[in-house]
Structure 1
Amino acid sequence: MDENSSPLAGSPNNGGGGNPTTSPDTAEAGTIDLVASPVRLDTSTNAQSAITARVKDSNGVLLQGVTVSFSATNGGTLEVTQGETDQAGVASAILTTDGDPRNRTVTITAQSGSISDSVSVDISGTSLAISGPTSISLGSSTALRVTLSDADGNGISGETVNLSTTLGTLSASTLTTSTNGLVDVQLNSGSTGGTATVTAAAYSGSSTISTTRDIVVAGDSFGFTSPAPNTEVDLNTQQEVTMEWLVNGNPVADGTQIQFTATRGTLTPASGVVTTSGGQASIDISSTNAGISTITASDTNSGLSADLTFEFVATTPDEINLQAIKTQLDLSETTEIVAVIRDADNNLVKNQEVSFSILEDGSGGSLTSSRDVTDSQGRASTIYQAGANTSGRGGVEIQATVAGSISDTVTLTVARQALRLAIGTGNEIIEPDTVRYIKDYVAIVTDANGAPVENANIELSVLPTGYIKGSYVPSIDDTWVISPGNPVFCDAEDLNRNGQLDAGEDINGSLALEPTNSATTSASSVISATDGSADFSLIYPQSHCNWVRVELTATVRVGGSESVESSEFFLSCAASDLNNTDIPPPGGIEGLYGSDQACNVND
């Protein structure tokens, strides 16, 4: 037996390998041996355990064809791969964590009738970790980062982390992990020295995990005195940064080394090592690229450290890029218009006033604000609301300007009304029976920008436009063709398309309108789907094919706008009905409306 496999404690483990397998209709399970392999899983996404149940009758004979049901507790997920025992008396399933990263024990049960067995699988590997300094001074604060990760080290997002400290205060007691499984919290040391034990915990019950980090709160005062936190520093400008270290209220010994590091910018001296004088140490920093910088001062011997955050900012705009979150809008819909300002070195420029204006707008829309000031990301924005009319493609133009002359534009389209309609078909004819043809069609509704229009009501009609007269004759290829080769075409007599025989319309004196309405559509109207399309079919008698020309028309109306698309064609025959001259063509050899080559003759 595999060392990672475990039969259920207390279950019989008879060999039975050579026993015959029986499958009588009345056979009932006497014992079930349930095994998991392995019995320990980690919390990685691909972890799985094979679950195997062997079923025997009361005499120890393996049973075939017995139904076994599997179940799992505590968030375990089972995929039953074989729910009925095979010739070896085996039913099986696969246990997975199914994305549940909790540490826990899952109990799997296999049951047949009143007989059952269970096995437990331990799932573990998810952990918490706290990173940060080991020592801080009185009255200071420090950033701590908590990481929640699975057995593969992947961050676990969207989970609640509870935080506490035995000394000082935390900026939050409950936080939710980011997409990378992180939460950041500030520890404020307060005014009392000692050791702060910071605890982070996640999940609940038997799945609870926790970790701690001890941080010494020294009686020393160790922190920055200038500049103030969140100071803005112009690019390419030296900024002096000063820290102070007091021991029992007195300056630390002169010449004590302080190590400075920074997340952005260049330190002078480059080593970042400066010695104290009168308890203070100063260093210069500058940067050629904009953004937040955190500078840290630390003493390697005591473990003391302090952080100061400020921002390098670009001040000279060189270019502007204007974008709209959405460039295609419904009537009266809104979208955010965003301008991003950069300098000549591609740095984002902060604190710049940007003005917005509409240069052209056929929809009658508006902006909620004509100005904004760029933030740390170089962004300034306003909201555009479309008007009640369509604009045409690119019919709305908005401009953003910075520094008086640097500008960019963006174009929008306000056009969700159905301005375009197309109908089409394929090259196949369906014969549902011996008397009818069905030909499938599609109608597509789009706006002026080519985007699909959903839920548009498409009205359909099909009316005759004319007919031909002639008869079928065999061709040299032994197929049915119409004779003469260029038969007369007669226009439909219903000139005003009102379906009534009016004066002057009965050209051939038949006392009826020719041709009749030979075809119909499967529905009088259809509704477009999310892709703007709608399916329908054309239905007509087989005997009318080749003789009648019709006009198929689709009409869509949205918001007072109408679009019409038509297609004119002869009703076609299936090739298979014309390729054997031993069988008469649909409707017979004689033309539907006769063969005389004069439209005023009724034959």
Structure 2
Amino acid sequence: MCYDFSKLSGTLAKLPQFAVLVQGMREMYSRNSESGETMMSGKFLARASAFSLTLFLAACGGGDGSSSLAGGGDDGNGDDSNGTRVGTVQLLTSSTQIGSSESSSSTLTAQVKDNNGVLLEDIDVQFSVNNNGTLQVERGTTDASGTAVATLSPAGDRRNRTVTVDARSGNKQDSVDVAITGTSLAIEGPSSIGFGDTATYRVLLNDSEGNPIPGVAIQVSTNITSTESASLTTSQSGEVELSLTAAQSGGQDTMSVSAFSGESRIAATKPITISSDGFAFTAPSADSDLDINRPHTLAVRWLRNNTPIADGSQVKFSSTRGTISPSNGIAPTSNGVASVTVSSTTAGPAIVTAKDPNSGLATELEFEFVAKTPSALDVQANKTQLDFNETTEIIATVRDANNNLVKGQTVNFVVTSDGSNGSLSDSEADTDSQGKARVVYTGGNADSGRNGVVIRAKVSDSLSSEVNLTVTRQALRIALGTGNELLEPDTVRYENPFIAIVTDSNGSPVGADVELSVLPIAYHKGRYFSTIITDSGEEEELDRWGLEHTRRCAAEDANRNGVLDAGEDTNQNGTLEPTYSATTSSPSVTTSADGSANFSIIYPQSHCNWVEVELTATVKVGGTESIEKNRFILGCAESDLDDINETPPGGTTGLYGAVGSCSTDL
């Protein structure tokens, strides 16, 4: 039972504990007096009252406002139930600025000490973050070093912004601000266009690693021209395409674009000169399909005050694909028209630019080089293992003799065998710019047996291909996973441990052989840096290496045949990038009774942070097949980057260069 402090004086006298205490104090005082020791009655009574008040409060369980510290009860002054005083909490970050890409992160370390500066062990620390940051708590309780650890990441929100991380233990706390940066806007398109002409501009939204950011609204404004766009939301490639029409003759315009709002707002501008001249393509027409391996005329009409420009005025032509003749791309006007020819041995889209070398007046035209003669046909399914009534896309790819994709070719599809009684959505489809024709197959409601469904794609009597599917209720499931530990068996290799788990549709473990492969899908260009520029403009030395990715480039071996085929050498250096950096510790593993099997990804240390791979696991049991894929960048050991005095694996320049373009190996 607890008593009101206002009634304490009357209440204490009635408590039996108090009476016993007073009597004990009197006897103590008497003994001290008899022994010749002196004790002032005032001090005696004060100490007796204080001691009795302590007993009284202890019986009531403490006063209002008491709280418990992480790791024990708090007396309101930062003490836990073990008597340990949390004096300070200091929060440290490995970097006060991280990139906006999903792979960017910063390590937060909370250090807990008592009032004497002694590091405290087994103390709970609560981490939190605002502004849509994400924290993964690696260790929420302090270890022998007195530290708890968490990892901060943008977690899919790739806006530039500042987040505040807080670490708290009991009534002690500390916080630190981390800037998430690197997301940018860029405008691509001509800097000068003719009166009445319509030019195409592309607005690119990328994160700190150059990865596109889709689904973001873009605001566009101009001063004197008008823009038209079907959508102002970035596509999967992080782009918005704008058509700008020069409706006013002469003048200087500025295109302004922006994304996001508040502190996250980013913007870009592009000055555009509106010429009074008329400057536009007359051949070929926009969005034309031009046959490969033959010349095609590119022609521009140049008018000034509705009169052909003086004969001999030069126009320079350039194209993103193919070869222009003459080789310098320069042609003189005749009666206001300048023309060259263009041809290409490879199929694909092209953007041609015609430009006045003196004024910068320019116009663009988009078309596509296409192959017409099919020579090879390959048909595949997105999924080869289907449940009853499940669907999958059947994709036929058509190429010519030089491995070019063939557009506009009609492909016939037919089911030649199907024990499940499934169906196709169409009997034929035309190939697109990627040489692909697509239909959808729906499995039936009966077991087809292993590879019991056969679908044939056919272009001609001599050109056909088949794909086998399995329809069964007992579909397998496979999962791939790894931890946060990277092994170093020696000074030149890394070993990343993985696990494969195979189960049936009920989640029960399955013993099976799992085939493994790991292939490159992209490479990254960039550099390591040892200094940063602070907000005050001063150069600050880092205590560990920072990483900057300047560009992500798709693997050049598009068909994964290990051969440098026509059109694959993007950076024109005569080799395929990236090389096949990684391998699995075994080409296959067998799962144990619990359905799991361990293996490792092995790769050179100098390739870490620069190569992106796709790990594929395939399992087949009793006619059932399942495929699981995992994409990731080959990682570096933290210990190899945390000492600024030790060179990172492979040096400070990216394995494939640092220039932010895929068309060069610099």
SS of structure 2 residue aligned to 1:160? coil
Corresponding residue for residue 220 of structure 1? 277
Q: CA deviation at 1:298?
A: 0.9
Task: Please give the per-residue CA displacement for 1:84-131, whole angstroms capped at 9, x wherever unaligned.
Answer: 78999x766556344454333333445555555555444444332223
Corresponding residue for residue 96 of structure 1? 152
One-letter amino acid matched to 2:199: T
One-letter amino acid matched to 1:252: I
SS of structure 2 residue aligned to 1:346? coil
- Which segments of 5 or more consecutive residues in structure 1 lack a partner in the other structure? 1-21, 419-450, 458-530, 536-603
| Cα pair distance change 1:408/1:127, threshold 3 Å | closer
Which residue of the other structure, out of 192, 196, 202, is the alignment partner of 1:139? 196
Corresponding residue for residue 213 of structure 2? 157
Q: Contact between 2:163 and 2:179, CA under 8 Å: does it hold in 1?
A: yes
SS of structure 1 residue aligned to 2:465? strand
Corresponding residue for residue 175 of structure 1? 233
Corresponding residue for residue 344 of structure 1? 401
- Which segments of 5 or more consecutive residues in structure 2 lack a partner in the other structure? 1-78, 476-501, 509-590, 596-666
Query: Which of these two proteins has the greater Rg computed from alpha carbons?
Result: 1
Which residue of the other structure, out of 454, 458, 465, is the alignment partner of 2:505? 454
Task: Please give the per-residue CA displacement for 1:360-417, whole angstroms capped at 9, x wherever unaligned.
Answer: 3444444333233332222233333444444433333333332444323333334447
| Cα pair distance change 1:138/1:391, threshold 3 Å | same
1:130-529 matches, within 5 Å, as 130-151=187-208, 153-158=209-214, 160-166=216-222, 167-172=225-230, 174-176=232-234, 178=236, 181-191=238-248, 193-416=250-473, 454-455=505-506
One-letter amino acid matched to 2:234: T
- Return the TM-score normalized by structure 1: 0.57
Corresponding residue for residue 48 of structure 1? 106
Q: Contact between 1:243 and 1:281, CA under 8 Å: does it hold in 2?
A: yes
One-letter amino acid matched to 2:359: S
Q: CA deviation at 1:159?
A: 5.4
Q: CA deviation at 1:275?
A: 0.7
One-letter amino acid matched to 2:195: L
Q: CA deviation at 1:67?
A: 6.3
Q: Contact between 2:218 and 2:233, CA under 8 Å: does it hold in 1?
A: yes
Tell me how far apart the structure 1 counterparts of residues 81 and 443 of structure 2 sit (CA, whole Å): 75
SS of structure 2 residue aligned to 1:339? strand
Q: CA deviation at 1:242?
A: 0.9
Q: Contact between 1:39 and 1:120, CA under 8 Å: does it hold in 2?
A: no
- Return the TM-score normalized by structure 2: 0.52
Whichever structure has more helix as a proportion of its residues is 2
Task: Please give the per-residue CA displacement for 1:545-587, whole angstroms capped at 9, x wherever unaligned.
Answer: xxxxxxxxxxxxxxxxxxxxxxxxxxxxxxxxxxxxxxxxxxx
One-letter amino acid matched to 1:240: T
One-letter amino acid matched to 1:289: T
Tell me how far apart the structure 2 counterparts of residues 203 and 344 of structure 1 sit (CA, whole Å): 48
Task: Please give the per-residue CA displacement for 1:274-311, whole angstroms capped at 9, x wherever unaligned.
Answer: 01111110111222222222211111221111111222
Tell me how far apart the structure 1 counterparts of residues 210 and 170 of structure 2 sit (CA, whole Å): 42
One-letter amino acid matched to 1:205: G
SS of structure 2 residue aligned to 1:278? coil
| Cα pair distance change 1:301/1:413, threshold 3 Å | same
Tell me how far apart the structure 2 counterparts of residues 87 and 388 of structure 1 sit (CA, whole Å): 61
Q: Contact between 2:214 and 2:239, CA under 8 Å: does it hold in 1?
A: no
Q: Contact between 2:253 and 2:274, CA under 8 Å: does it hold in 1?
A: yes
Tell me how far apart the structure 1 counterparts of residues 266 and 414 of structure 2 sit (CA, whole Å): 56
Tell me how far apart the structure 1 counterparts of residues 227 and 395 of structure 2 sit (CA, whole Å): 39
Task: Please give the per-residue CA displacement for 1:498-522, whole angstroms capped at 9, x wherever unaligned.
Answer: xxxxxxxxxxxxxxxxxxxxxxxxx
Tell me how far apart the structure 2 counterparts of residues 123 and 330 of structure 1 sit (CA, whole Å): 44
Q: CA deviation at 1:221?
A: 1.3
Corresponding residue for residue 481 of structure 1? none
Tell me how far apart the structure 1 counterparts of residues 505 and 108 of structure 2 sit (CA, whole Å): 48
Tell me how far apart the structure 2 counterparts of residues 35 and 386 of structure 1 sit (CA, whole Å): 57
Q: Alpha carbon RMSD of aligned pairs, Å?
A: 4.1
Tell me how far apart the structure 1 counterparts of residues 310 and 393 of structure 2 sit (CA, whole Å): 58
Q: CA deviation at 1:272?
A: 1.0
Tell me how far apart the structure 1 counterparts of residues 186 and 353 of structure 2 sit (CA, whole Å): 22
Tell me how far apart the structure 1 counterparts of residues 200 and 387 of structure 2 sit (CA, whole Å): 47
One-letter amino acid matched to 1:301: N
| Cα pair distance change 1:335/1:23, threshold 3 Å | closer
Bigger mean CA deviation after superposition, 328-337 or 108-117: 108-117
One-letter amino acid matched to 1:354: V
Q: Percent identity?
A: 41
Q: Contact between 1:23 and 1:63, CA under 8 Å: does it hold in 2?
A: no
1:37-116 matches, within 5 Å, as 40-43=96-99, 45-46=103-104, 48=106, 61-62=116-117, 65=120, 69-77=126-134, 96-99=152-155, 100-111=157-168, 113-114=170-171
Q: CA deviation at 1:51?
A: 5.4
Q: Contact between 1:229 and 1:309, CA under 8 Å: does it hold in 2?
A: yes
Tell me how far apart the structure 1 counterparts of residues 396 and 382 of structure 2 sit (CA, whole Å): 11
Q: Contact between 1:74 and 1:106, CA under 8 Å: does it hold in 2?
A: yes
SS of structure 2 residue aligned to 1:175? coil
Task: Please give the per-residue CA displacement for 1:455-501, whole angstroms capped at 9, x wherever unaligned.
Answer: 499xxxxxxxxxxxxxxxxxxxxxxxxxxxxxxxxxxxxxxxxxxxx
Tell me how far apart the structure 2 counterparts of residues 297 and 306 of structure 1 sit (CA, whole Å): 5
Q: CA deviation at 1:137?
A: 1.6
Bigger mean CA deviation after superposition, 330-339 or 75-84: 75-84
SS of structure 2 residue aligned to 1:351? coil
One-letter amino acid matched to 2:220: S
